[in-house]
Amino acid sequence: DVKVTQSSRYLVKRTGEKVFLECVQDMDHENMFWYRQDPGLGLRLIYFSYDVKMKEKGDIPEGYSVSREKKERFSLILESASTNQTSMYLCASAIGGVGNQPQHFGDGTRLSIL
């Protein structure tokens, strides 16, 4: 079974802090994704990566950056946290190559910015 592990289930940070959310997958997947989930809006893609050191912006990249130094790890960075970044963050991974393979999700990190 694919395992996608997010470092924290709950996180509380203060406005202006630099925040790191970590995600690790154990299935050697090429593609990894970061989404945020807000009530009534579904999941929205922040960034994704299709290879080590490769990244592309999703639909809502503003205020975020990402890092993929190793294939199994994909980090989301809030450069200067703001209250409107309070949300549930979900990481996912999928097999690369020919696309459209199902994404496998972590349990999510519920982030509160005070």
Q: Which is nearer to another protein, 58 or 63 (CB)?
A: 58
User: Rounded to the nearest whole angstrom, what is the least distance from the CB of residue 47 to another protein in the complex?
Assistant: 11
Interacting residues of 41 by C-beta distance below 8 A, sequence separation 6+: none
Dist. CA 79–CA 76, nearest whole Å: 9
Q: Which is nearer to another protein, 106 or 113 (CB)?
A: 106
Kindly list the residues in this chain that would bind another protein in the complex (CB under 8 A): 9, 31, 33, 35, 40-45, 48, 50, 56, 58, 88, 90, 92, 94, 96, 98-108
Dist. CA 102–CA 100, nearest whole Å: 6
